[in-house]
Amino acid sequence: MSLNIAHTLAKSAERIGERIGLVEASTGKSLSFNELNQRSDSFAHILSNGGVRSGERVMLMVKPSADFICLTFALFKIGAPVILIDPGMGYRNLLQCIEGVRPHGFIGIPRAHLFKALFNKPFKTVKCTFCCGNSLGLFGPNISAQACREYPVYPIFEPHIDDLAAIIFTTGSTGPPKGVRYEHSIFQAQLTLIRDFYGIGEGDVDQPAFPLFALFSTALGAKAVIPDMNPTRPAKVNPELFTASIQKNKVSYSFASPALWHVISGYCEARDKRLTSLKKILMAGAPVSGALIEKMQLVLPENAEIHTPYGATESLPIVSIEGAEIIRDTWPLTRIGKGTCVGRPLPGIEIAVLPISDREIPVFDRNSILSPGQIGEIVVRGDVVTRAYENNTKENKLAKISDENTFWHRMGDVGYLDFEGRLWFCGRRAHRVVCEKYNKTYFSIPCEALFNEHSLVFRSALVGVPLSSGTGLIPVIVVELEKDSRIDTRILKNDLKAIAKANIQTTEIENFLIHPDFPVDIRHNAKIFREKLCVWATTELKGHV
Protein backbone atom coordinates (compact mmCIF):
# COMPACT_ATOMS: atom_id res chain seq x y z
CA MET A 1 0.00 0.00 0.00
CA SER A 2 1.34 3.44 -0.94
CA LEU A 3 1.82 5.92 1.87
CA ASN A 4 0.77 8.77 -0.43
CA ILE A 5 -2.98 9.43 -0.06
CA ALA A 6 -2.96 10.99 -3.53
CA HIS A 7 -3.01 7.36 -4.72
CA THR A 8 -6.28 6.89 -2.83
CA LEU A 9 -7.90 9.73 -4.77
CA ALA A 10 -6.67 8.26 -8.05
CA LYS A 11 -8.13 4.86 -7.10
CA SER A 12 -11.46 6.48 -6.19
CA ALA A 13 -11.48 8.11 -9.62
CA GLU A 14 -10.93 4.70 -11.23
CA ARG A 15 -13.83 3.09 -9.32
CA ILE A 16 -16.42 5.85 -9.06
CA GLY A 17 -15.06 8.50 -11.39
CA GLU A 18 -18.41 9.86 -12.60
CA ARG A 19 -19.85 10.38 -9.11
CA ILE A 20 -19.76 13.87 -7.59
CA GLY A 21 -16.73 14.10 -5.30
CA LEU A 22 -16.86 17.69 -4.11
CA VAL A 23 -19.35 20.56 -3.89
CA GLU A 24 -18.72 24.22 -3.06
CA ALA A 25 -21.79 25.34 -1.13
CA SER A 26 -21.10 29.04 -1.72
CA THR A 27 -20.91 28.74 -5.54
CA GLY A 28 -22.84 25.56 -6.26
CA LYS A 29 -19.83 24.33 -8.23
CA SER A 30 -19.35 20.55 -8.22
CA LEU A 31 -16.62 18.24 -9.44
CA SER A 32 -16.70 14.49 -10.06
CA PHE A 33 -13.94 12.27 -8.71
CA ASN A 34 -12.53 12.13 -12.24
CA GLU A 35 -12.51 15.93 -12.40
CA LEU A 36 -10.89 16.21 -8.95
CA ASN A 37 -8.15 13.81 -9.93
CA GLN A 38 -7.67 15.41 -13.35
CA ARG A 39 -7.58 18.92 -11.88
CA SER A 40 -4.98 17.87 -9.31
CA ASP A 41 -2.92 16.37 -12.19
CA SER A 42 -3.21 19.67 -14.06
CA PHE A 43 -2.09 21.67 -11.03
CA ALA A 44 0.80 19.25 -10.49
CA HIS A 45 2.04 19.83 -14.06
CA ILE A 46 1.63 23.63 -13.73
CA LEU A 47 3.51 23.74 -10.42
CA SER A 48 6.22 21.36 -11.64
CA ASN A 49 6.70 23.39 -14.82
CA GLY A 50 6.94 26.49 -12.62
CA GLY A 51 9.82 25.12 -10.56
CA VAL A 52 8.29 23.03 -7.75
CA ARG A 53 10.17 19.79 -7.09
CA SER A 54 9.75 16.92 -4.65
CA GLY A 55 11.08 17.79 -1.20
CA GLU A 56 10.70 21.55 -1.75
CA ARG A 57 8.25 23.20 0.61
CA VAL A 58 5.33 25.17 -0.74
CA MET A 59 3.17 27.55 1.27
CA LEU A 60 -0.52 27.31 0.35
CA MET A 61 -2.69 30.34 1.13
CA VAL A 62 -5.94 29.58 -0.69
CA LYS A 63 -9.46 29.75 0.73
CA PRO A 64 -11.40 26.50 1.35
CA SER A 65 -12.53 25.48 -2.12
CA ALA A 66 -12.14 22.89 -4.84
CA ASP A 67 -8.85 24.57 -5.74
CA PHE A 68 -7.57 24.19 -2.17
CA ILE A 69 -8.28 20.44 -2.21
CA CYS A 70 -6.89 19.89 -5.71
CA LEU A 71 -3.76 21.94 -5.04
CA THR A 72 -3.06 19.97 -1.87
CA PHE A 73 -3.40 16.68 -3.77
CA ALA A 74 -1.20 18.14 -6.52
CA LEU A 75 1.57 18.88 -4.03
CA PHE A 76 1.24 15.37 -2.62
CA LYS A 77 1.58 13.99 -6.15
CA ILE A 78 4.75 16.02 -6.70
CA GLY A 79 6.08 15.12 -3.25
CA ALA A 80 6.41 18.79 -2.29
CA PRO A 81 5.52 19.33 1.40
CA VAL A 82 2.60 21.72 1.79
CA ILE A 83 2.74 24.38 4.51
CA LEU A 84 -0.64 25.20 6.03
CA ILE A 85 -0.96 28.13 8.44
CA ASP A 86 -4.22 29.41 9.87
CA PRO A 87 -4.40 33.09 8.78
CA GLY A 88 -6.51 33.86 11.83
CA MET A 89 -3.58 33.41 14.24
CA GLY A 90 -2.64 37.10 13.84
CA TYR A 91 -0.09 38.83 11.61
CA ARG A 92 2.81 38.63 14.06
CA ASN A 93 2.47 34.88 14.64
CA LEU A 94 1.79 34.31 10.95
CA LEU A 95 4.96 36.09 9.85
CA GLN A 96 7.08 34.27 12.44
CA CYS A 97 5.70 30.91 11.31
CA ILE A 98 6.40 31.63 7.64
CA GLU A 99 9.96 32.71 8.34
CA GLY A 100 10.55 29.60 10.45
CA VAL A 101 9.55 27.06 7.76
CA ARG A 102 11.48 28.68 4.87
CA PRO A 103 9.10 27.98 1.95
CA HIS A 104 10.56 27.45 -1.52
CA GLY A 105 7.25 28.01 -3.32
CA PHE A 106 4.20 30.16 -2.67
CA ILE A 107 0.64 29.62 -3.90
CA GLY A 108 -1.92 32.20 -2.89
CA ILE A 109 -5.05 34.08 -3.81
CA PRO A 110 -4.46 37.72 -4.91
CA ARG A 111 -5.04 38.98 -1.38
CA ALA A 112 -2.34 36.63 -0.06
CA HIS A 113 0.07 37.88 -2.73
CA LEU A 114 -0.62 41.43 -1.59
CA PHE A 115 0.16 40.37 1.98
CA LYS A 116 3.40 38.80 0.74
CA ALA A 117 4.32 42.03 -1.06
CA LEU A 118 3.69 44.14 2.04
CA PHE A 119 5.58 41.83 4.41
CA ASN A 120 8.23 40.39 2.12
CA LYS A 121 11.01 39.60 4.62
CA PRO A 122 9.64 36.22 5.85
CA PHE A 123 9.18 35.17 2.20
CA LYS A 124 12.83 35.72 1.24
CA THR A 125 13.37 31.98 0.61
CA VAL A 126 10.54 31.82 -1.97
CA LYS A 127 11.85 31.09 -5.47
CA CYS A 128 8.61 30.42 -7.36
CA THR A 129 5.16 31.95 -6.94
CA PHE A 130 1.71 31.10 -8.30
CA CYS A 131 -1.49 33.10 -8.18
CA CYS A 132 -4.77 31.23 -7.71
CA GLY A 133 -7.35 33.73 -8.86
CA ASN A 134 -7.58 36.68 -11.21
CA SER A 135 -5.21 39.49 -10.22
CA LEU A 136 -5.43 41.23 -13.62
CA GLY A 137 -1.90 39.99 -14.26
CA LEU A 138 -0.46 41.82 -11.25
CA PHE A 139 0.72 38.62 -9.56
CA GLY A 140 1.07 36.44 -12.64
CA PRO A 141 -1.33 34.19 -14.56
CA ASN A 142 -4.32 32.61 -12.84
CA ILE A 143 -3.36 28.94 -12.35
CA SER A 144 -6.98 28.12 -11.53
CA ALA A 145 -7.94 29.05 -15.09
CA GLN A 146 -4.91 27.24 -16.50
CA ALA A 147 -5.91 24.04 -14.69
CA CYS A 148 -9.13 23.89 -16.72
CA ARG A 149 -7.01 22.63 -19.63
CA GLU A 150 -6.43 18.89 -19.82
CA TYR A 151 -2.97 17.66 -18.88
CA PRO A 152 -1.55 14.13 -18.91
CA VAL A 153 -1.70 11.93 -15.81
CA TYR A 154 0.95 13.06 -13.34
CA PRO A 155 3.21 10.29 -11.95
CA ILE A 156 2.50 10.16 -8.20
CA PHE A 157 5.47 10.51 -5.87
CA GLU A 158 6.21 7.31 -3.90
CA PRO A 159 7.30 8.42 -0.43
CA HIS A 160 9.42 6.62 2.12
CA ILE A 161 8.05 6.41 5.66
CA ASP A 162 10.03 9.50 6.77
CA ASP A 163 9.25 11.72 3.76
CA LEU A 164 7.54 14.96 4.75
CA ALA A 165 4.03 15.62 3.39
CA ALA A 166 3.03 18.78 5.26
CA ILE A 167 3.76 21.21 8.05
CA ILE A 168 0.61 22.17 9.96
CA PHE A 169 0.66 24.76 12.72
CA THR A 170 -0.91 24.52 16.15
CA THR A 171 -3.35 27.23 17.27
CA GLY A 172 -0.93 28.65 19.79
CA SER A 173 -3.46 28.41 22.64
CA THR A 174 -0.57 27.79 25.09
CA GLY A 175 2.46 29.65 23.75
CA PRO A 176 3.62 30.48 20.21
CA PRO A 177 2.20 28.34 17.36
CA LYS A 178 4.43 25.38 16.49
CA GLY A 179 4.88 23.78 13.09
CA VAL A 180 4.03 20.08 13.28
CA ARG A 181 5.80 17.81 10.78
CA TYR A 182 3.38 15.45 9.02
CA GLU A 183 5.03 12.62 7.14
CA HIS A 184 3.01 10.86 4.44
CA SER A 185 2.73 7.88 6.81
CA ILE A 186 0.87 10.04 9.37
CA PHE A 187 -1.80 11.04 6.84
CA GLN A 188 -2.17 7.42 5.76
CA ALA A 189 -2.58 6.29 9.39
CA GLN A 190 -5.21 8.98 10.01
CA LEU A 191 -7.05 8.02 6.85
CA THR A 192 -7.12 4.37 7.94
CA LEU A 193 -8.47 5.22 11.42
CA ILE A 194 -11.19 7.50 10.04
CA ARG A 195 -12.23 4.85 7.52
CA ASP A 196 -12.17 1.84 9.83
CA PHE A 197 -13.27 3.23 13.20
CA TYR A 198 -15.87 5.75 12.09
CA GLY A 199 -16.98 3.70 9.09
CA ILE A 200 -16.68 6.50 6.56
CA GLY A 201 -16.33 5.78 2.86
CA GLU A 202 -18.10 5.54 -0.48
CA GLY A 203 -21.71 6.64 -0.39
CA ASP A 204 -21.17 9.08 2.48
CA VAL A 205 -21.50 12.84 2.16
CA ASP A 206 -19.29 14.97 4.42
CA GLN A 207 -19.64 18.64 5.33
CA PRO A 208 -16.52 19.43 7.37
CA ALA A 209 -15.99 22.79 9.06
CA PHE A 210 -12.24 22.05 9.00
CA PRO A 211 -11.09 22.37 5.34
CA LEU A 212 -8.37 19.71 5.54
CA PHE A 213 -10.91 17.03 6.44
CA ALA A 214 -12.47 17.37 3.00
CA LEU A 215 -9.15 15.94 1.80
CA PHE A 216 -9.76 12.73 3.77
CA SER A 217 -13.37 12.48 2.60
CA THR A 218 -12.59 12.65 -1.09
CA ALA A 219 -9.63 10.28 -0.66
CA LEU A 220 -12.04 7.77 0.92
CA GLY A 221 -14.53 8.08 -1.93
CA ALA A 222 -17.03 10.17 0.05
CA LYS A 223 -18.51 13.35 -1.38
CA ALA A 224 -17.25 16.46 0.42
CA VAL A 225 -19.34 19.61 0.72
CA ILE A 226 -17.31 22.71 1.53
CA PRO A 227 -19.66 24.86 3.64
CA ASP A 228 -20.26 28.55 3.05
CA MET A 229 -18.50 29.82 6.17
CA ASN A 230 -15.26 31.25 7.51
CA PRO A 231 -13.47 28.23 9.00
CA THR A 232 -11.49 30.50 11.34
CA ARG A 233 -14.74 31.77 12.90
CA PRO A 234 -16.91 28.68 13.53
CA ALA A 235 -18.97 30.43 16.24
CA LYS A 236 -19.94 33.03 13.61
CA VAL A 237 -21.30 30.43 11.17
CA ASN A 238 -24.53 31.34 9.40
CA PRO A 239 -26.77 28.50 10.65
CA GLU A 240 -29.31 28.97 7.88
CA LEU A 241 -26.68 28.46 5.17
CA PHE A 242 -24.98 25.58 7.00
CA THR A 243 -28.19 23.64 7.62
CA ALA A 244 -29.60 24.38 4.16
CA SER A 245 -26.45 22.89 2.64
CA ILE A 246 -26.82 19.78 4.83
CA GLN A 247 -30.37 19.30 3.64
CA LYS A 248 -29.74 20.10 -0.01
CA ASN A 249 -26.75 17.74 -0.32
CA LYS A 250 -28.15 15.04 2.00
CA VAL A 251 -25.04 15.27 4.17
CA SER A 252 -24.56 12.08 6.18
CA TYR A 253 -21.75 13.17 8.51
CA SER A 254 -20.03 16.37 9.58
CA PHE A 255 -16.99 17.28 11.65
CA ALA A 256 -16.91 20.63 13.48
CA SER A 257 -16.07 22.31 16.77
CA PRO A 258 -18.51 22.46 19.70
CA ALA A 259 -18.81 26.21 19.10
CA LEU A 260 -20.37 25.57 15.68
CA TRP A 261 -22.71 22.83 16.90
CA HIS A 262 -23.86 25.15 19.69
CA VAL A 263 -25.03 27.65 17.04
CA ILE A 264 -26.59 24.97 14.83
CA SER A 265 -28.46 23.25 17.67
CA GLY A 266 -29.89 26.55 18.91
CA TYR A 267 -31.02 27.54 15.42
CA CYS A 268 -32.70 24.19 14.77
CA GLU A 269 -34.32 24.03 18.20
CA ALA A 270 -35.89 27.47 17.75
CA ARG A 271 -37.42 26.37 14.42
CA ASP A 272 -38.26 22.78 15.36
CA LYS A 273 -35.96 21.64 12.53
CA ARG A 274 -34.39 18.19 12.27
CA LEU A 275 -31.39 17.36 10.10
CA THR A 276 -32.72 14.02 8.96
CA SER A 277 -29.88 13.08 6.58
CA LEU A 278 -27.17 13.27 9.26
CA LYS A 279 -26.20 9.84 10.54
CA LYS A 280 -23.00 10.82 12.31
CA ILE A 281 -21.43 13.99 13.65
CA LEU A 282 -18.03 14.53 15.21
CA MET A 283 -17.28 17.29 17.73
CA ALA A 284 -13.67 18.13 18.56
CA GLY A 285 -11.35 20.95 19.48
CA ALA A 286 -12.59 21.60 23.02
CA PRO A 287 -14.41 19.74 25.81
CA VAL A 288 -17.97 18.85 24.76
CA SER A 289 -20.74 19.32 27.32
CA GLY A 290 -23.52 16.81 27.86
CA ALA A 291 -25.96 19.69 27.47
CA LEU A 292 -24.75 20.28 23.90
CA ILE A 293 -24.99 16.57 23.10
CA GLU A 294 -28.56 16.50 24.42
CA LYS A 295 -29.46 19.51 22.26
CA MET A 296 -27.94 17.87 19.20
CA GLN A 297 -29.80 14.62 19.88
CA LEU A 298 -33.05 16.59 19.45
CA VAL A 299 -31.87 17.82 16.04
CA LEU A 300 -30.65 14.47 14.66
CA PRO A 301 -32.49 11.27 13.68
CA GLU A 302 -32.94 8.79 16.55
CA ASN A 303 -30.29 6.38 15.24
CA ALA A 304 -27.66 9.06 14.58
CA GLU A 305 -24.30 8.84 16.35
CA ILE A 306 -22.45 11.67 18.06
CA HIS A 307 -18.71 11.13 18.52
CA THR A 308 -16.31 13.35 20.45
CA PRO A 309 -12.78 12.38 19.37
CA TYR A 310 -9.87 13.73 21.39
CA GLY A 311 -6.41 14.59 20.16
CA ALA A 312 -4.25 17.48 19.06
CA THR A 313 -2.54 18.78 15.95
CA GLU A 314 0.38 16.54 16.92
CA SER A 315 -1.78 13.40 17.30
CA LEU A 316 -5.32 13.08 16.01
CA PRO A 317 -7.47 11.13 16.71
CA ILE A 318 -6.30 9.07 19.69
CA VAL A 319 -9.42 8.37 21.78
CA SER A 320 -13.16 8.67 21.17
CA ILE A 321 -16.49 8.21 22.92
CA GLU A 322 -20.12 8.25 21.75
CA GLY A 323 -22.59 10.83 22.96
CA ALA A 324 -25.00 8.18 24.24
CA GLU A 325 -22.37 6.89 26.67
CA ILE A 326 -21.53 10.42 27.79
CA ILE A 327 -25.16 11.20 28.66
CA ARG A 328 -25.76 7.83 30.30
CA ASP A 329 -22.51 7.36 32.25
CA THR A 330 -20.02 10.22 32.32
CA TRP A 331 -21.79 13.59 32.08
CA PRO A 332 -23.28 13.37 35.60
CA LEU A 333 -19.73 12.90 36.92
CA THR A 334 -18.37 15.76 34.80
CA ARG A 335 -20.92 18.12 36.35
CA ILE A 336 -19.63 17.42 39.85
CA GLY A 337 -15.98 18.05 38.98
CA LYS A 338 -14.63 14.68 37.85
CA GLY A 339 -13.29 15.99 34.52
CA THR A 340 -14.47 15.37 30.95
CA CYS A 341 -14.46 11.76 29.72
CA VAL A 342 -12.99 11.71 26.21
CA GLY A 343 -13.20 7.96 25.67
CA ARG A 344 -11.16 4.84 25.06
CA PRO A 345 -7.98 4.57 22.98
CA LEU A 346 -8.58 3.94 19.28
CA PRO A 347 -7.10 0.84 17.62
CA GLY A 348 -3.31 0.93 17.64
CA ILE A 349 -3.14 3.75 20.19
CA GLU A 350 -1.55 3.45 23.64
CA ILE A 351 -2.30 5.92 26.44
CA ALA A 352 -0.44 6.31 29.73
CA VAL A 353 -0.63 8.80 32.60
CA LEU A 354 2.61 9.97 34.24
CA PRO A 355 3.42 12.27 37.18
CA ILE A 356 3.10 15.91 36.10
CA SER A 357 6.35 17.63 35.17
CA ASP A 358 7.20 20.93 33.50
CA ARG A 359 10.65 19.62 32.62
CA GLU A 360 11.98 17.24 29.97
CA ILE A 361 11.34 13.51 30.42
CA PRO A 362 14.17 11.96 28.35
CA VAL A 363 13.30 8.27 28.90
CA PHE A 364 9.97 6.54 29.51
CA ASP A 365 9.81 4.77 32.88
CA ARG A 366 7.02 2.18 33.15
CA ASN A 367 7.39 2.15 36.92
CA SER A 368 6.21 5.78 37.01
CA ILE A 369 2.85 5.11 35.32
CA LEU A 370 0.04 6.27 37.60
CA SER A 371 -2.79 4.01 38.73
CA PRO A 372 -6.39 4.48 37.53
CA GLY A 373 -8.02 7.51 39.12
CA GLN A 374 -4.76 9.41 39.69
CA ILE A 375 -4.51 12.72 37.83
CA GLY A 376 -1.28 13.11 35.89
CA GLU A 377 0.15 14.00 32.51
CA ILE A 378 -1.33 12.29 29.44
CA VAL A 379 1.14 10.67 27.01
CA VAL A 380 0.41 8.74 23.82
CA ARG A 381 2.08 6.64 21.16
CA GLY A 382 0.78 5.16 17.91
CA ASP A 383 0.81 5.51 14.13
CA VAL A 384 -1.04 8.86 14.09
CA VAL A 385 1.40 10.48 16.53
CA THR A 386 3.71 12.93 14.78
CA ARG A 387 7.44 12.67 15.36
CA ALA A 388 8.64 16.26 15.68
CA TYR A 389 8.07 19.98 15.43
CA GLU A 390 9.76 21.83 12.60
CA ASN A 391 12.98 23.64 13.51
CA ASN A 392 12.21 23.58 17.25
CA THR A 393 14.73 21.51 19.21
CA LYS A 394 13.61 22.89 22.57
CA GLU A 395 9.95 21.93 22.10
CA ASN A 396 10.89 18.54 20.66
CA LYS A 397 12.85 17.72 23.80
CA LEU A 398 9.95 18.82 25.99
CA ALA A 399 7.28 16.99 23.97
CA LYS A 400 8.84 13.61 23.20
CA ILE A 401 9.87 10.76 25.51
CA SER A 402 12.20 8.07 24.20
CA ASP A 403 11.16 4.42 24.73
CA GLU A 404 13.71 2.08 23.15
CA ASN A 405 12.90 2.09 19.39
CA THR A 406 9.72 4.17 19.77
CA PHE A 407 8.63 7.33 21.55
CA TRP A 408 5.72 8.83 23.47
CA HIS A 409 4.21 12.25 22.86
CA ARG A 410 3.32 14.46 25.80
CA MET A 411 -0.11 15.90 25.04
CA GLY A 412 0.40 18.88 27.32
CA ASP A 413 -2.86 17.84 29.01
CA VAL A 414 -3.59 16.40 32.42
CA GLY A 415 -6.15 13.74 33.25
CA TYR A 416 -6.57 10.16 34.39
CA LEU A 417 -7.63 6.72 33.25
CA ASP A 418 -10.60 5.12 35.00
CA PHE A 419 -10.97 1.42 35.83
CA GLU A 420 -12.80 0.85 32.51
CA GLY A 421 -9.84 2.15 30.50
CA ARG A 422 -11.52 5.47 29.64
CA LEU A 423 -9.48 8.67 29.58
CA TRP A 424 -10.72 11.69 31.54
CA PHE A 425 -9.47 15.16 30.55
CA CYS A 426 -8.81 17.64 33.39
CA GLY A 427 -7.29 20.54 31.42
CA ARG A 428 -3.98 21.74 30.05
CA ARG A 429 -0.86 21.12 32.10
CA ALA A 430 -0.02 24.83 31.78
CA HIS A 431 -3.46 25.81 33.12
CA ARG A 432 -3.21 24.07 36.47
CA VAL A 433 -2.74 26.36 39.45
CA VAL A 434 -0.17 25.15 41.97
CA CYS A 435 -0.91 26.99 45.20
CA GLU A 436 1.77 26.80 47.90
CA LYS A 437 -0.44 28.72 50.34
CA TYR A 438 -2.93 25.85 50.46
CA ASN A 439 -0.45 23.10 49.47
CA LYS A 440 -2.84 22.16 46.68
CA THR A 441 -3.06 21.91 42.87
CA TYR A 442 -6.22 23.09 41.11
CA PHE A 443 -7.14 21.69 37.68
CA SER A 444 -9.09 23.84 35.23
CA ILE A 445 -11.79 21.52 33.85
CA PRO A 446 -12.94 19.92 37.14
CA CYS A 447 -13.04 23.28 38.95
CA GLU A 448 -14.77 25.18 36.17
CA ALA A 449 -17.47 22.54 35.75
CA LEU A 450 -18.79 23.38 39.22
CA PHE A 451 -19.29 27.08 38.47
CA ASN A 452 -20.65 26.40 34.98
CA GLU A 453 -23.67 24.85 36.73
CA HIS A 454 -24.86 28.32 37.75
CA SER A 455 -27.81 29.24 35.53
CA LEU A 456 -26.34 32.63 34.54
CA VAL A 457 -22.77 31.47 33.87
CA PHE A 458 -22.00 30.82 30.21
CA ARG A 459 -18.47 29.62 30.98
CA SER A 460 -15.76 30.04 33.58
CA ALA A 461 -11.97 29.95 33.73
CA LEU A 462 -9.55 29.08 36.51
CA VAL A 463 -6.46 31.32 36.57
CA GLY A 464 -3.53 31.71 38.94
CA VAL A 465 -2.90 35.29 40.11
CA PRO A 466 0.41 36.15 41.82
CA LEU A 467 0.10 37.01 45.50
CA SER A 468 1.16 40.58 46.32
CA SER A 469 3.58 39.11 48.87
CA GLY A 470 5.39 37.37 46.03
CA THR A 471 4.96 33.96 47.68
CA GLY A 472 3.22 32.12 44.84
CA LEU A 473 -0.18 31.98 43.16
CA ILE A 474 -3.76 32.20 44.37
CA PRO A 475 -6.63 30.48 42.46
CA VAL A 476 -9.17 32.86 40.92
CA ILE A 477 -12.35 32.05 39.01
CA VAL A 478 -13.31 34.32 36.11
CA VAL A 479 -16.82 33.96 34.67
CA GLU A 480 -18.50 35.07 31.46
CA LEU A 481 -22.26 35.40 31.83
CA GLU A 482 -24.99 34.25 29.48
CA LYS A 483 -26.07 36.95 27.04
CA ASP A 484 -28.50 39.55 28.43
CA SER A 485 -28.09 38.22 31.99
CA ARG A 486 -29.30 40.54 34.72
CA ILE A 487 -28.03 40.00 38.26
CA ASP A 488 -26.50 42.06 41.03
CA THR A 489 -22.74 41.44 41.04
CA ARG A 490 -22.66 40.95 44.82
CA ILE A 491 -25.40 38.33 44.66
CA LEU A 492 -23.62 36.47 41.86
CA LYS A 493 -20.30 36.42 43.72
CA ASN A 494 -22.03 35.15 46.86
CA ASP A 495 -23.57 32.37 44.75
CA LEU A 496 -20.15 31.46 43.37
CA LYS A 497 -18.57 31.48 46.82
CA ALA A 498 -21.28 29.12 48.03
CA ILE A 499 -20.54 26.74 45.13
CA ALA A 500 -16.82 26.88 45.96
CA LYS A 501 -17.36 26.12 49.67
CA ALA A 502 -19.56 23.12 48.84
CA ASN A 503 -16.83 21.19 47.00
CA ILE A 504 -13.52 19.96 48.37
CA GLN A 505 -11.77 20.84 45.09
CA THR A 506 -12.60 24.55 45.37
CA THR A 507 -13.33 25.23 49.04
CA GLU A 508 -10.41 27.69 49.42
CA ILE A 509 -11.28 29.82 46.35
CA GLU A 510 -12.52 33.26 47.43
CA ASN A 511 -11.84 35.55 44.45
CA PHE A 512 -14.31 35.80 41.56
CA LEU A 513 -14.31 38.16 38.58
CA ILE A 514 -16.74 38.82 35.73
CA HIS A 515 -15.31 39.23 32.24
CA PRO A 516 -17.49 40.52 29.37
CA ASP A 517 -16.15 38.28 26.60
CA PHE A 518 -13.51 35.58 27.01
CA PRO A 519 -10.59 35.57 24.54
CA VAL A 520 -10.69 32.22 22.70
CA ASP A 521 -8.64 30.41 20.07
CA ILE A 522 -9.12 31.12 16.39
CA ARG A 523 -9.53 27.59 15.04
CA HIS A 524 -12.29 26.31 17.34
CA ASN A 525 -13.63 29.48 19.03
CA ALA A 526 -13.82 27.38 22.19
CA LYS A 527 -10.39 27.04 23.81
CA ILE A 528 -10.12 29.81 26.38
CA PHE A 529 -6.91 31.85 26.37
CA ARG A 530 -6.45 31.61 30.12
CA GLU A 531 -3.02 33.25 29.88
CA LYS A 532 -4.67 36.47 28.66
CA LEU A 533 -7.35 36.20 31.34
CA CYS A 534 -4.63 35.75 33.94
CA VAL A 535 -2.98 39.04 32.96
CA TRP A 536 -6.37 40.78 33.08
CA ALA A 537 -7.27 39.22 36.45
CA THR A 538 -3.91 40.19 37.94
CA THR A 539 -4.58 43.82 37.01
CA GLU A 540 -8.14 43.67 38.37
CA LEU A 541 -7.04 42.22 41.72
CA LYS A 542 -3.86 44.26 42.11
CA GLY A 543 -3.39 45.05 45.78
CA HIS A 544 -6.29 42.79 46.87
CA VAL A 545 -4.55 39.40 47.06
* Pairing mode, strands 305-307 and 310-312: unpaired
pLDDT for 523: 60
Give Cβ neighbours of residue 308 (< 8 Å, ≥ 6 apart).
282, 283, 284, 288, 293, 320, 321, 323, 326, 342, 343
| 111 band by pLDDT with thresholds 50, 70 and 90 | very high
Can you point out the beta strands (E) in 422-510? 423-428, 433-435, 440-442, 457-466, 473-481
Dihedral sign for Cα atoms in the order 3, 320, 207, 285? negative
Question: Is the distance from CB of 157 to CB of 78 less than 8 angstroms?
Answer: yes
| 2 band by pLDDT with thresholds 50, 70 and 90 | confident
CA distances from 160 to 164, 328, 345, 400 (A): 9, 45, 27, 22
pLDDT in tens, 525-541: 667 889 999 999 999 99
* DSSP one-letter string for 109-143: -HHHHHHHHHT-GGGTT--EEEE-S--TTTTS-BH
**Domains 308-427 and 432-540 equal at CATH topology level:** no
The alpha helices in 55-183, defined as continuous H runs, are 66-78, 91-101, 110-118, 143-146
pLDDT for 525: 63
| 315 band by pLDDT with thresholds 50, 70 and 90 | very high
Residue 90, pLDDT above cutoff 80: no
Residue 256, pLDDT above cutoff 70: yes
User: Topology of 432-540 in CATH?
Assistant: GMP Synthetase; Chain A, domain 3 (3.30.300)
**What percentage of residues in the chain have a pLDDT greater than 70?**
98
pLDDT for 233: 85
pLDDT in tens, 127-164: 999 999 999 999 999 999 999 998 999 999 999 999 99
- What average pLDDT does the structure give for the chain? 94
User: Topology of 6-232 in CATH?
Assistant: Rossmann fold (3.40.50)
| 545 band by pLDDT with thresholds 50, 70 and 90 | confident
Cα–Cα distance, 498 to 510 (Å, whole number): 10
DSSP 8-state assignment for residue 9: H
Question: Is the distance from CB of 388 to CB of 396 less than 8 angstroms?
Answer: yes
pLDDT for 524: 61
| Phi/psi at 219 (5° precision) | -65, -30
pLDDT in tens, 489-527: 999 999 999 999 999 999 999 999 999 999 887 666 667
* DSSP one-letter string for 259-308: HHHHHHHHHHHHHT---TT--EEEE-SS---HHHHHHHHHHS-TT-EEE-
- Segment 401-409 mean pLDDT: 96
Task: State in words which class domain 308-427 has.
Answer: mainly beta
| 544 band by pLDDT with thresholds 50, 70 and 90 | confident
- Segment 439-467 mean pLDDT: 96
Query: Buried (b) or exposed (e) across 366-397, using 16+ Cβ within 10 A?
Result: eeeebeeeebbbbbbbbebbbbbbbebeebbe
pLDDT in tens, 159-213: 999 999 999 998 766 678 899 999 999 999 999 999 999 999 999 999 999 888 9
**What percentage of residues in the chain have a pLDDT greater than 90?**
87
Domain ranges in the chain are: 6-232, 308-427, 432-540
pLDDT for 94: 87
pLDDT for 128: 97
Residue 88, pLDDT above cutoff 80: no
The Cβ-side half-sphere exposure at 56, using a 13 Å CA radius, reads 16
pLDDT for 136: 92
Give Cβ neighbours of residue 470 (< 8 Å, ≥ 6 apart).
none
Cα–Cα distance, 376 to 443 (Å, whole number): 11
Residue 1, pLDDT above cutoff 80: no
Cα–Cα distance, 324 to 122 (Å, whole number): 48
Question: Is the distance from CB of 445 to CB of 527 less than 8 angstroms?
Answer: no
DSSP 8-state assignment for residue 187: H
Across the beta sheet with 473-481, what order do the strands follow? 457-466, 473-481, 511-514
DSSP 8-state assignment for residue 242: H
Residue 272, exposed/middle/buried by CB under 10 A (0-12, 13-18, 19+)?
A: exposed
Bridge-partner residues for 182, per DSSP?
Answer: 166
Dihedral sign for Cα atoms in the order 428, 434, 435, 441? positive
| 46 band by pLDDT with thresholds 50, 70 and 90 | very high
CA torsion angle 122 124 130 134 (round to 10): 60
